[in-house]
Amino acid sequence: MSDRRVVITGMGIVSPVGNDLVTFWDNLSHGRSGIGPVTLFDTAQYDCRIGGETKNFEAKQYFREPKDARRADRYIQLAVAASKMALEDSGLDVGKIDVTRFGVMVGSGIGGLETLENNHTQLITKNPSRVSPFTIPMMISNMASGMISMEFGLQGPNMSIVTACATANNNIGEAWRMIKFGDADGFICGGAEAAILPMGYAGFGNMRALSTRNDEPERASRPFDKGRDGFVMGEGAGVVIIEEMEHAKARGATIYCELAGYGVSADAYHLSAPHPQGEGASRCMAMALKHAKLNASQVGYVNAHATSTPMGDICETRAIKNTFGAHAKDGLLVSSTKSMTGHMLGAAGGAELIASVLAMRNSLIPPTINVEDQDPECDLDVCPNVAREAKFTAALSNSFGFGGHNASVLIKAV
C-alpha cells in the first residue's frame, strides 16, 4: 500500500437527533434521545412500536429536479441529502476537480424496502401492470451511489458494498483503500438506511432483536445496561468526503482529521450472533491499528457498535479488552451513540464516524445514555449518561453486521 494519506474534509448527516452537524452534535453531547413512537406506519399489531425516525425531512430540496426525488426510495433520498450536505461542508467545487478521479461509495444494508413493499402490494392486490417501472432501480442497494454520482457528475469509481450493519464502515474503508492505491483522489462515502417499515419490524421483531420498551421510548436503547432488551431501529444517512491529503491541501480545504486505519474481518460463526469472545471484532480493530501505525494505548476513544442487545454488547466488550489490553480498563473511553440515535443499520458507521470526528474536535466524549445499572460483564468506562471532557488524538469506530461482518475505521489528528 502506498504512502498516500487520506483526510476527511466534509461531513453530512440525516439522523433521529438532527439533520445537520450542529444539531446532531448538540443533541449527542447533551445526551438527548431521538427515539419515540413510530409514526411512519401503524404499529398496533407489532411487539415493537418505537423507533428513531428522521424528522422534518423534505427530500426535494436536495435534488436538482423534483422528479428525481420522486423516483428515489427513501433510503436514496436520505443518502443524496447527506451527500449534498457533506459536499457543501467540504467546500469542494466539482467544476474545478478531475471528476474521473472522484468516486462514490454509499451503501445500504437493506436497500429500497419501502419500494419493494409498496409494489409487491400492487402486484398481489391488483395486477402486474400496476407495478411501477421504477421498482427495480428504486429498490436496488447500489442506486444511492448511482444517483449521487449522477446528481453531482462524479465519474470515478462507483460501487456499493452491502454488509448489513457494517455497510457504511466498509464503504468508507474501501474508498480509503482505493485512494491509498492511487485509483482515485477522493470519494463521497458512507451509508444510508430507511427500514422503519412493516417488513422491517416484523422481520427483526420476530427474531426477538428489537426492544419492546414501548412505554419509555427514550429509555429503550440502553447499551451496556443490565436492563437492555434489544436494539431500537433508527434511520438516516451518514456521509463523509475523503480526499488524498495533497489534493485537499491544493484546493485549500479545511481538514477535520486523517482517516488513518481500516480493519475488516469475518466471524465465520453465526447468521446473526457475534462470536462469543469477539475474536473477529478484535482482529478487525487490530488491523485498523496496524494500518494507522498506532499502539493501542494511543487511542483515546472508541465509538462502540454496542446496539443494546444482550449478547452483542458483552462480546464487543471482550473484543475491546482483548485488543487494548490494560489500556481498556485504564484510560480508554468508550461510548455508544446508538443510545440516542437507535441503530441506523447500514447508515450507523457513517453517523458514528461523524460523531467520533466531532468528539475529537470538541474534546468531548458523547455519553452512553440510559446506563442505570451497568452490566458487570460490560466493565469498560462507557461514559454513562453525561458527556466527558477529554483531549485525545486518535479514535476508533466499530461496526459489526449480521453474517459476521466486522469493520473498524480509525481517525487521528493531523
Catalytic residue positions, numbered: 165, 305, 343
Angstrom distance (rounded) from CA 76 to CA 148: 9
Q: How many CA atoms lie within 13 A of 132 on its CB side?
A: 18
Q: Residue 214 CB: number of other CB atoms within 10 A?
A: 15
Residue type, 293: K
DSSP summary character for residue 191 = E
**Cell, residue 38:** 413510530
Question: Which are the contacts of 396, defined by CB distance < 8 A and separation ≥ 6?
Answer: 261, 285, 288, 289, 299, 301, 302, 303, 356, 408, 409, 410
DSSP summary character for residue 185 = S
Strands (E), 299-393: 301-303, 333-335, 364-365, 388-389
CA–CA distance from 83 to each of 31, 80, 94, 210 (Å)?
26, 5, 13, 29
